[in-house]
Every structure is written in C-alpha cells, then in structure tokens.
Chains A and B, each alone.
Chain A
C-alpha cells in the first residue's frame, strides 16, 4: 500500500469510514503524504524554501503521476506550504478514490433529509485497521524503549500522525510525555526534506486554528 493510502486509513475510522481529523487537517496531512510518496520514489525534494522536481521517472501510480504533473506544470518554484494548500484541496477525495480502485474502500450512499451523502467505507475492517495498529504499537514500544527500528515510510507516517494530532489519540495518560520525547527523536531522525515536510504540515494545521481558516 502507498504511504498516502495508509495515512488515509489511519485518519479515518476503520468500521464507518468517518474522519478522525478536521477536514483541513486531513487535506494537509494527505497532501504531505502524497509529496512524501514522490520523494520516496526519487521524484522530488524540498528545502526550507521550495519543492524541487529532481527526476521525471514516471511514478508507478496514476495519482502520484498526477501530482508530479501539477508540479511540472507550475512555472514557478513554490514552497512546501503552497503545495500542501494546493494538493490539500482535493487530497482526501483523490486518495479515497485510489483506495476504492484498489478495492480497499467502497462508496456507501445514505439517504439524508436533503439529497444523498456518499461516504467511503472500508471493505475489510481488519485491513483498514492495520496501519493504525502498526504505528500505534511501534510508537508504544518506542516509548517504553523496547526499541523497534522504524522503516523510513513508517517514520514519515509517524511524523504525519504527530503533525495532524493523531498521535494524541494513540498514546494516553502518563505515556504522553515520553511519547513526545520519542516522537521528537523519530522526527528529528528523518532526512531533512521529510523533516521539513512534517514541520510545515504541523504549522499549516496549527495556523488554521489561529485564524478563521
């Protein structure tokens, strides 16, 4: 499964498909995950100023391809934040569609007072619950210092869970403090472009709380 797919599943309830995140936060988080996918595939990198395309090797998946097209179509180099905002407008729907194509989600229509509401609901609860369970377990074992080596994608996922506030739902009570320490290490240990991505995502989301957003 791609990184953004896993983040989508973490950010939604496994049984109902209802979001766990505020819509803007989900958008920013998934936009970041899509950028991370392209980074992992070697297509782009980012620094404190801009996102830069580094390779035109076609990504394996149509959505990632689409994102890369957007980056290439843009005549100006833009900072991470602009891309988060731009991709964040449609990222939730885009990733849901990709998961639906993979057979992970299905559209459920519910009749409402006005019209019909469409929700993407996981087809198999166990599959949908796996990414959250995995990241939570690794976070907890990291916290209790039983030490698990995180793969780079899992490190990024953990970082994005932190940036969107989802880690607060994974760790409770007394462990919150040591969880923050551990998260600091995980994020601090990311390669610089991914660390910038996580930080920018966190800031973008917190800014929506500071304004009418």
Chain B
C-alpha cells in the first residue's frame, strides 16, 4: 500500500483484508499434493500410458506462469468473483464472457463431481484395508454430500489456518515419501521421465498428458477472485499466485519423478495400471513403514474433503454471480438472510452432484477412473479453453489501452506464448479425445464430452445475443458479477448501478493504489 492508505479508515480496512498466505491457502485447497499425485497423476499414468508426466509438469508450470503475468495485471483492474468470464467479457465482448462463464461453470462442476469419486473410493478403500468396515464408495460419497450440502447452505468455510495446516502436513508426507523413493531406485537415479521421448512419442497422447497436468495445477487461478478482499490487489494476488504455482510445481515434479525412480521409468505405467488407486501409498508402506503409507491415505481423504468444500463453494459463487447479472435465472441469486450464503446456487450444485453420484452408483461405474479421472480430464479440458480465451482477452484489453502502463512482456508476449502453447494442446487433444478419457476411438463419449463444452459455449453466445435484443439492461451488466444491482423483476424502475459501481471505478482505485 502506498500514498493514500495511511488514513485511519484505510488502516482499519486493510487490517480486515486478506494477506498473501491466506489467499494462497485458498488457492491451494484444490491443490492437495497427495490427491493430485497419488490420485490424479497415477490415474493419468494408468489411463494414458505415457511416462513423461514430470516433464509435462515442468512445461505446463512454465506455460501457466506465463499466463499469470497478464492474468494478474487484469485482476487489479477488474476485481470480480468470476475472474475468467469477467476478463473475457471485457476483452472479447459480453457474448464471449457468457460463453466463458458457462464453460467455467461446467468445468468446475465436473471437477467437483470427480472429487466425490476420489473421496468415496479412497475412504472406502481405507476402511476396507484397515479391516474397519466394507462400505461401497457411493455410500461414503453420499455422506460427504450431506456434509457439503449442509455446510454450503450454512456457509461454513474452512479457514486459512486449517487449510495451511493440512497443506503443511501433506508437504511433509510428500517430502518423506520422495526421499524414500529416491533412496530406493529400481533402475538407478534415472532422469528418463524428463526426456522429450518419454512425453512426445505420440502427440495426441502427449496432449492428453498436458491436459491432465493442467488439472493438477487447478487452483492457481483462484487468487484474483480475492483481489478485492486482499490487502493489495497487485502484490497480494501476484505473490499468492506465483507462490501457489511454485509450491505445486516443486511438489508435483519431485514426487512424480521420485515415483518413476523407485519403480523404474519403464515400469511406472504398468505399476500404475495394476494399482491405480493406491500406488503411491503402497510404495511408501513397502519402503518405509505401513503407518507412513496409512498417514498418506488419511491425508488424501481429508484433503479431498477440503477440496470438495472449496469447489462446492466455488461453483455456488460462480452461479450466484451469474444469477446476479441476470444471465442465469434470478432465483439462483437467492441468499440466506441469516447465513449470508448463496443458498439457491449452493443447492443447485448439491443437486447436480447428487444426480451424478446416484447415476454412477446405479450404473456401477468406477469411482476413480470414470468419475474422478474423467471429471479431472474434462475440467482440465474446459480450463485449457478458458486460459486461451483469457490470454487473448488480456491482449485485446490492454491493446485497446496502449498497454495501460504495463510492460509489453506482461500484456502481450507472455499471454501470446501461453495462448499458442495451450491452443496446440487443445487442438491435439480434440483430434484424439478418446485418449484423454481412455476409451476406444469409436466410443460416443469421445464426442459427447467435448461437444458438451462446445454446446455450452454456443448456448452462452446465443443467450447473450438474445439478452442484447430483449433485455439490454441485463446485457449491459454482464461481467459485473455481484456488482450488478439487485434484480427487482420486470417493469420495475430500480436504479441500475451507476458508473461508480462498475469496473470503471475499480480501474480508478487500481490506478490510485499504484502511484
């Protein structure tokens, strides 16, 4: 904070705001290292059959870091709880913004559905292996559903201390595992998992790996959501984002590499296939002591649960913000007077999750490979598309303003490079989508899943155009999120938010903070 802030009001308000550690902890809830490596990436090895995940993590880590330069520059100009869609609305126009918001909603919901799978499966497996009880995964998923639904309606959120403690414990476990894995190499201390051959043998397979790896990093994009609540939109958000990315990058690269070392790079795909739910923990139990493997399993379960709460609220807030704008039905903007929770949209998310869990239970589908892994793959796919659209929006937004005081690197070069890299990933994964979700090429899901994203995006654009023609006052508010004024119903003259409420004022505040 500089110039203005040292007034009594500014000091008091700053004390209430979030620091970088809190913001990073919110971002990292989704980034539970044990769940991402032990769950997602091991499933990735098994389903895609490519060794080079460690190299893929390095590449995507770099691409996302490039993405973040422009993304953070946007965050301090347009603070909004639905960052991607707000930025796209500003850069590519409101129809693009609505398309982006629906794609984001679909992606985050897919991720959330997947979490029910991993939580149920991991807890069920744990209770079974410890000889406590044999309970089907979906029963446990339903128990978790009851808790997330209740917490969502009552607005219970894990605070940053709990989240940081969980994360610290996970990192300790991961470091212990990595040390043990690296000390017991199967084929020598091999760097084979970093060689280009290990990743780029077949480009459609490599693209699938890269999408799954994007999923691994999800959460890195969360910090700008807290821009307005943070002490300093530029520094706090930037520090939280890059710290989050760095922590994830180091933890994921080191751990995936250590696993390839301890089972041997040539053997890792087979090992993952034969033990896709539990590989990391059984390795740790063998090499260290059974209780250390158990500790990891427990932390995977707790962190999956924390991630569920976090994604539930992300989804609920996202649809709440869209309902405030009038893009989704106004009824979804209903909040509890006593709880302050976005109750209607929270219940919508719960309802969708319940349907998914029940359908999976009835059809007896696999909770890890067909729910958690698919949810992650689809969520990652949607996020890749959003990252591309956001990067282009950054370039357009700043281009129109002659850079607006940002360096050419931040607003032009970095976003363009990341957009090109991610667009290549998207094109290759689109061509052979069956590889990403590990189904035969003729399986209709190979088209149904990606086309769902296209359909939602097209629907968003059309809906925006309908709004433009029929309800121009709603159209005008697209991208404002909760800032859009209260909805009074048709034909009621209520003051629309004036110039002071929209992004315009935010730009002024942003600029004032900088000088």
Question: In chain B, what residue has the closest Cβ to A46?
Answer: B500
Instruction: Give the contacting residue for B500; candidates A22, A49, A73; CB below 8 A.
Output: A49
Among A94-102, A115-123, A144-152, A162-170, the stretch in contact with B: A162-170
Question: In chain A, what residue has the closest Cβ to B498?
Answer: A48
* Tally of contact residues, B, Cβ under 8 A: 48
Q: Which B492-515 residues have a C-beta within 8 angstroms of A?
A: 492-495, 497-501, 505
Q: Which A52-101 residues have a C-beta within 8 angstroms of B?
A: 70, 73-76, 78-79, 82-83, 85-86, 89
Among A32-40, A106-114, A129-137, A196-204, the stretch in contact with B: A196-204
Q: Are A184 and B337 in contact (CB under 8 A)?
A: no
| A206/B486 contact (C-beta < 8 A), A21-B337, A21-B338, A25-B340 known | yes
Main secondary structure of the interface of A (DSSP, over half): helix
Instruction: Give the contacting residue for B226; candidates A75, A199, A212; CB below 8 A.
Output: A212
Residues of A within 8 A of B4 (CB): 76
Distance (whole angstroms) from the CB of A204 to the closest CB of chain B: 9
Q: Which B163-198 residues have a C-beta within 8 angstroms of A?
A: none
Q: Are B492 and A211 in contact (CB under 8 A)?
A: no
Q: Are B324 and A213 in contact (CB under 8 A)?
A: no
Residues of B within 8 A of A78 (CB): 9
Question: In chain B, what residue has the closest Cβ to A164?
Answer: B337
Give the docked Cα–Cα distance between A184 and B485 (Å): 12
Q: Are B9 and A86 in contact (CB under 8 A)?
A: yes
Instruction: Give the contacting residue for A70; candidates B8, B492, B497, B501; CB below 8 A.
Output: B8
Binary B-proximity of A175-213 (CB < 8 A = 1, otherwise 0): 001001101110110000001100110110111111111
Instruction: Give the contacting residue for B335; candidates A89, A165, A195; CB below 8 A.
Output: A165
Residues of A within 8 A of B497 (CB): 199, 203
B137 in the interface, Cβ–Cβ < 8 Å?
no
In the assembled complex, 19 residue pairs joining A and B whose CB atoms fall closer than 8 Å, in A order, are A20-B338, A22-B339, A70-B8, A74-B9, A82-B9, A86-B9, A166-B337, A168-B337, A180-B488, A181-B491, A181-B492, A188-B492, A188-B493, A188-B495, A199-B497, A203-B486, A203-B497, A209-B482, A210-B482
Question: In chain A, what residue has the closest Cβ to B483?
Answer: A203
Residues of B within 8 A of A177 (CB): 489
Q: Are A202 and B485 in contact (CB under 8 A)?
A: yes
Distance (whole angstroms) from the CB of A203 to the closest CB of chain B: 6
Give the docked Cα–Cα distance between A200 and B338 (Å): 19
Distance (whole angstroms) from the CB of B477 to the closest CB of chain A: 12
A206-B324, A212-B157 given; 14 more Cβ-contact pairs under 8 Å: A20-B338, A22-B339, A25-B340, A48-B498, A89-B12, A89-B16, A168-B337, A181-B488, A185-B493, A187-B494, A199-B497, A203-B486, A210-B81, A211-B229
A153 in the interface, Cβ–Cβ < 8 Å?
no
Residues of B within 8 A of A208 (CB): 340
Distance (whole angstroms) from the CB of A156 to the closest CB of chain B: 14
Distance (whole angstroms) from the CB of B5 to the closest CB of chain A: 9
| A184/B489 contact (C-beta < 8 A), A20-B337, A199-B495, A206-B333 known | yes
Residue of B339, B486, B493 with most chain A CB atoms under a 10 A cut-off? B486
Residue of A20, A177, A203 with most chain B CB atoms under a 10 A cut-off? A203
Q: Which 4 A-B pairs have the closest CB atoms?
A: A22-B340, A184-B492, A48-B500, A210-B482
| A70/B337 contact (C-beta < 8 A), A76-B4, A213-B229 known | no
Binary A-proximity of B206-243 (CB < 8 A = 1, otherwise 0): 00000000000000000001101100000000000000
Question: In chain B, what residue has the closest Cβ to A195?
Answer: B495
B304 in the interface, Cβ–Cβ < 8 Å?
no
Q: Are A209 and B341 in contact (CB under 8 A)?
A: yes
Q: Are B333 and A48 in contact (CB under 8 A)?
A: no
How many A-B pairs fall under 8 Å by CB? 131
Residues of A within 8 A of B337 (CB): 20-22, 25, 164-166, 168-169
Instruction: List chain B positions with a Cβ less than 8 A from chain A.
Output: 4, 7-10, 12-13, 16, 26, 81, 155, 157, 225-226, 228-229, 313, 317, 320-321, 324, 333, 335-342, 481-483, 485-486, 488-489, 491-495, 497-501, 505
Question: In chain A, what residue has the closest Cβ to B508?
Answer: A49
Distance (whole angstroms) from the CB of B489 to the closest CB of chain A: 5
Q: Are B340 and A205 in contact (CB under 8 A)?
A: yes
Instruction: List chain A positions with a Cβ less than 8 A from chain B.
Output: 19-22, 24-25, 47-49, 70, 73-76, 78-79, 82-83, 85-86, 89, 162-166, 168-169, 177, 180-181, 183-185, 187-188, 195-196, 199-200, 202-203, 205-213
Give the docked Cα–Cα distance between A187 and B488 (Å): 11
Question: In chain B, what residue has the closest Cβ to A182?
Answer: B492
Q: Are B13 and A212 in contact (CB under 8 A)?
A: no
Give the docked Cα–Cα distance between A207 and B485 (Å): 11
Residues of A within 8 A of B481 (CB): 210
Q: Are B9 and A70 in contact (CB under 8 A)?
A: yes
Residues of A within 8 A of B225 (CB): 211
Residues of A within 8 A of B155 (CB): 22
Residue of B7, B494, B498 with most chain A CB atoms under a 10 A cut-off? B494
Residues of B within 8 A of A164 (CB): 337
Distance (whole angstroms) from the CB of A74 to the closest CB of chain B: 5
Residues of A within 8 A of B338 (CB): 19-22
Question: In chain B, what residue has the closest Cβ to A166?
Answer: B337
Instruction: Give the contacting residue for A211; candidates B226, B335, B499, B500; CB below 8 A.
Output: B226
Instruction: Give the contacting residue for B320; candidates A82, A187, A195, A210; CB below 8 A.
Output: A210
Instruction: Give the contacting residue for B498; candidates A89, A185, A187, A196; CB below 8 A.
Output: A196
Residue of B81, B339, B500 with most chain A CB atoms under a 10 A cut-off? B500
| A203/B482 contact (C-beta < 8 A), A25-B337, A82-B13 known | yes
Residues of B within 8 A of A203 (CB): 482-483, 485-486, 497, 501
Distance (whole angstroms) from the CB of A69 to the closest CB of chain B: 10
Residues of B within 8 A of A25 (CB): 337, 340
Distance (whole angstroms) from the CB of A128 to the closest CB of chain B: 18
Residues of A within 8 A of B494 (CB): 184, 187-188
Give the docked Cα–Cα distance between A203 and B320 (Å): 13
Residues of B within 8 A of A205 (CB): 335, 340
Distance (whole angstroms) from the CB of B346 to the closest CB of chain A: 10
Question: In chain B, what residue has the closest Cβ to A206?
Answer: B482
Question: In chain A, what residue has the closest Cβ to B509?
Answer: A79
